[in-house]
Structure 1
Amino acid sequence: MLQSREEKAKKVLMVARAFPPFLPVGYSIRVIKFIKYLPALGWQPVVLSVDDQQEYETLPKVGSEALLSEIQPTVKIIRTMPGEPSLRYLQKEKEFGGKNFATRLLVKIFGGARRWVFRNIFLPDRMITWLPFAVGKGRQVVKDEGIDVIFATCPPHSSALTGAVLKLFSGKPLVLDFRDDWIDTPWHLAKPAMVRMIEKLLEKWAVKMADKVILVTEWSRKAFQERYPAQPRDKFILISNGCDLGELEALKSIVPVHHTAKFTVVHAGSLNVSTVWGRSPAGLFQAIQKLLRENPQLKGSLVFKFAGDLPDEFRKLADEMGLTDVIRGLGHLPHAEVLRMIKSADLLLAMNYEGWATLIPGKIYEYWAVGGPPILLLSCPGAAADFVCEHALGIAVEPYDADGIQQAILQVYRQSKTSSPLRIKPDGVEAFDRKTLTHQLAQVLFTVS
């Protein structure tokens, strides 16, 4: 049960390496919302993160700083060294290497050795260099602040080890929050066999040390339960991602501006090029090309807007496929503007990371809450496809099924030209409100404390 307001709040140490002002919003929005709403539920968060006086190779400052304004001034944010070179240092190293042949060779050898160590020695990821600094500072914080529970969110999955070591030294209960799975994922399976074996042992130890393990999808929860049958099944808790319905209240007064000239498809979020963590629109572009070739009357009637990063490789691909006038990369836009685009679109596009069956793209919850256009999800079978079908949010198609994507777009397009265009209802999204989800976390914290 939750505490009454008269009782003294308990304290939870939130171990979060991915935290504003570093990295895009998607990396830290979950923990920020927990921190925002926990104080009203009997818990005072204390944050342990990375020093923000500089930028680092794995921690660029790219647009999440505004999230800090959502945290109450009474919340302490304690920062410590990340254990990796700053961008300023790397720039000086580069300048030093440009002086002559000898310095260039020296920098090449030193930099190459550093990268080799990061890639092959530091497990489960190069961010493990933060562990000694975080544990050293964290032990003192636990003592000085009277911490009741340790909460560690990952990835990076080395943060799960940081939380486990802190529990080992402090004896405080540990709650691990896996925003993304670690084992049996594309990035894990791409590693050498020996590394995969070591990481399985590391995850097993971290899970054993934890009092509760939180997963964000039912697919993830079942995967952990099957992987660790010796652990109690109720050790693994589902607390999904979601959206802050309070932030969307202003949308109710916005009248959608529907496009009579062009059928507009909107994708909110960034795409990226990666063999283990990629979101590619190649299948989508093939479908659009095929659609326009077979339906030439639609030329000039379709536009696909990408709000977020659209890498040059994908822009070039669109040009090569003759889609220059159809694909528009808008870059990063203010959140309010993106929400207006979402509400006024004819179709919303969501793309899952390739091969990640246990993931649900976070944008789906916001798309749903807006309560407007249907969603076209490009994803392999898994948690995301199940979610879209279960809640009647739109159509799920595999990312390289060009025929299936084409038919889905054509279906929604034709319906948009009738008196009853396809729309989705926000009914049921209340269960995924950030306040509701934080209430669930507070209950978990009380259970272990």
Structure 2
Amino acid sequence: MGMDTDRVLFVVYDFPPEGSRGTKRSLKFIRHLPPHGWSAVVLTVRSSPNLSFHDDSLFAELPPGLPIYRARTLESLFHGSSKGDGVRGDGAGEAKPGPLSSALRRAVVRLYRRLGRFTKLPDSRILWLPFAVISGLRAIRQNRCRVIYTSGPSHTNHVVGAILSHVTRLPLVIDFRDAWVGNPARRMPKAWIAKGNAFLERFCVRSAKVVVCTTDGIRADFEKRYPDLPGKYVTIFNGFDQSDFLADTSVGSRPRRPVLTIVHAGTLGRERSPREFLLALGQLLRENPELAGQVEVIFVGQNSPCTDGRTIEDYVQEYSCSSVVKLTGFVSRKASLEYIVRADVLLLIIGRVPKEGAFVYGISGKVYDYAAARRPVLTVSERGSTAQIVESLNLGPVVDPDDTETIKSTLVSLWEAHRSGSIPYNPNLELLKSFEFSRLTARLAACFDQTHKGEARESSESRG
């Protein structure tokens, strides 16, 4: 890391080797920051049961010599912990048995469930907070950090950053990949849990010098709920890294195969359900049995139960789609990108939320990788932020999940176009360029410059 750059502390629970969807944005920012005069110091968790998508290939994207502080969490006391503490650049070490007796371990498990999974204040990562604050103070002192940056969810990151900001008096920039209290997909079953989250969100927002949002809808929600804090909010969308797509990804750059390959990459579950798409696909196969050998649908990634308690495997079986559907399970990000660029059509399924929250619901990060891969996209979504940006980029048809007949007719049209040799595709390439991570990082660096210079000016004035 160059000595001519200022340092910013990144507070990010999800970080390599964790390969969850929350990792990509921070990783890309860290990679592209140095040309803009900033370099990162990372505060993340050591080993944790909340980290379930192990992807060692992500380490190749980290800048050489990146300081990484991996703080303990109470979760690791009964799930095993990693050896060593402090600065690490090679990920979590080999898991070791926890030091607790069986009785004490059971007591800690009960405490964890009570304080984390039950209360959700703000989420189950809360047991990382005290250790993160201690390690964060050490990281700031040892690296002379000028700014603190947090990315969430996990919203515990924001609480850690706000505490560190108050203790060190360093400016805080918080980045909401998804909304917190305003998130229409987040359920808070008890009033006191909702009030507790509202209090913590207010504490973090008021502590921050800049609040970054990944959509205009999230930003508008904050502006509406905090009218006394004008000028604090900025939209920096998610995006893509062109270096992930070094090969020629134009539609005509690969030989056409007789089978139409449709790929969905990423996690499905909860409100993001493939049920409506698979229902339409099953009906289409019954009406046109010859399609069974001419269409394949690949779901790439780990999936979890949907809000009705059923899984993608349940839907595939119920709607008799097994002859054309393949489930890969979790794969590395590199492997996922390979599936994307080899697809004929990319499938985007967006979660269903109350209509009044449709534009506060975050835009799927897959949109940008899909667009960068230069493949037609079939989007199954209600009206909302994601549908809007898909249409702005002209990536392909957007179909309402309840419109089974249109989903079926769209699939037939795509199959016929593929069979004839060309699926129509004319994306808005000029708009797409604005979502390249090198450009987005320049905007984030400008936020750091703004907060650091403003803080230095206020400090100088107070001394005068």
Displaced runs of 4 or more, over 6 A: 89-93, 106-110
Measured against aligned partners, the alpha-carbon deviations of 1:88-113 in whole angstroms (never above 9, x if no partner) come to 389979x987xxxxx8xx98777445
Matched, 1:306 2:299: yes
Contact 1:16 1:48 in 2 (8 A): yes
Q: Distance in 2 between matches of 1:333 and 1:165?
A: 36
Measured against aligned partners, the alpha-carbon deviations of 1:178-221 in whole angstroms (never above 9, x if no partner) come to 11111132454343122112211211121111000001111111
Q: 1:56 aligns with which of 48, 52, 61?
A: 48
Q: Distance in 1 between matches of 2:414 and 2:398?
A: 13
Does the C-alpha gap of structure 1 residues 188 and 328 become closer, same or farther in structure 2, counting only changes over 3 Å? Answer: closer
Measured against aligned partners, the alpha-carbon deviations of 1:15-56 in whole angstroms (never above 9, x if no partner) come to 11111112x2422111111111111210121111112xxx32
Q: 2:218 aligns with which of 202, 212, 220?
A: 220
Does the C-alpha gap of structure 1 residues 426 and 281 become closer, same or farther in structure 2, counting only changes over 3 Å? Answer: same
Contact 1:284 1:400 in 2 (8 A): no
Corresponding residue SS for 2:22: helix
Measured against aligned partners, the alpha-carbon deviations of 1:252-275 in whole angstroms (never above 9, x if no partner) come to 599323221x22211112323x3x
Corresponding residue for 1:100? none
CA RMSD of aligned residues (A): 2.9
Corresponding residue for 1:126? 124
Corresponding residue for 1:409? 411
Contact 1:241 1:362 in 2 (8 A): yes
Measured against aligned partners, the alpha-carbon deviations of 1:105-154 in whole angstroms (never above 9, x if no partner) come to x9877744542332344611121122211212222332332211111111
Corresponding residue for 1:267? 264
Corresponding residue for 1:432? 435
What is the Cα deviation at residue 348 of structure 1? 0.9
Q: Distance in 2 between matches of 1:149 and 1:110?
A: 34
Q: 1:38 aligns with which of 33, 38, 43?
A: 33
AA aligned opposite 2:246:
E
The two structures have a TM-score, normalised by structure 1, of: 0.86
Q: Distance in 2 between matches of 1:271 and 1:364?
A: 15
Contact 2:115 2:121 in 1 (8 A): no
Identical counterparts, % of pairs: 30
AA aligned opposite 2:69:
I
Does the C-alpha gap of structure 1 residues 25 and 199 become closer, same or farther in structure 2, counting only changes over 3 Å? Answer: closer
Does the C-alpha gap of structure 1 residues 282 and 188 become closer, same or farther in structure 2, counting only changes over 3 Å? Answer: closer
The two structures have a TM-score, normalised by structure 2, of: 0.83
Does the C-alpha gap of structure 1 residues 339 and 20 become closer, same or farther in structure 2, counting only changes over 3 Å? Answer: closer
What is the Cα deviation at residue 420 of structure 1? 4.2
Contact 2:149 2:175 in 1 (8 A): yes
Measured against aligned partners, the alpha-carbon deviations of 1:312-356 in whole angstroms (never above 9, x if no partner) come to 932233123221101111234455554444334332101223327
Contact 1:351 1:361 in 2 (8 A): no
What is the Cα deviation at residue 162 of structure 1? 0.9
Corresponding residue for 1:154? 152
Where do 5+ consecutive residues of structure 2 fail to align? 82-94, 306-310, 453-464
What is the Cα deviation at residue 290 of structure 1? 1.8
Alignment of 1:188-337 (within 5 A): 188-232=186-230, 234-252=231-249, 255-260=253-258, 262-272=259-269, 274=270, 278-310=271-303, 313-333=311-331, 335=333, 337=335
Measured against aligned partners, the alpha-carbon deviations of 1:381-415 in whole angstroms (never above 9, x if no partner) come to 21101001111111222334323322322232233
Does the C-alpha gap of structure 1 residues 193 and 158 become closer, same or farther in structure 2, counting only changes over 3 Å? Answer: same
Where do 5+ consecutive residues of structure 1 fail to align? 1-5, 98-102
Contact 1:352 1:359 in 2 (8 A): no
Contact 1:257 1:344 in 2 (8 A): no
Does the C-alpha gap of structure 1 residues 114 and 139 become closer, same or farther in structure 2, counting only changes over 3 Å? Answer: closer
Corresponding residue SS for 1:237: strand
Q: Distance in 1 between matches of 2:304 and 2:112?
A: 27
Q: Distance in 2 between matches of 1:107 and 1:171?
A: 37
How many residues were matched structurally?
Answer: 425
Corresponding residue for 1:12? 8
Does the C-alpha gap of structure 1 residues 12 and 310 become closer, same or farther in structure 2, counting only changes over 3 Å? Answer: closer
Corresponding residue SS for 1:223: helix
Does the C-alpha gap of structure 1 residues 268 and 188 become closer, same or farther in structure 2, counting only changes over 3 Å? Answer: closer
Contact 1:219 1:382 in 2 (8 A): no
Q: Distance in 1 between matches of 2:105 and 2:404?
A: 46
Q: Distance in 2 between matches of 1:107 and 1:141?
A: 30
Contact 2:55 2:332 in 1 (8 A): no
Does the C-alpha gap of structure 1 residues 91 and 283 become closer, same or farther in structure 2, counting only changes over 3 Å? Answer: farther
AA aligned opposite 2:433:
E
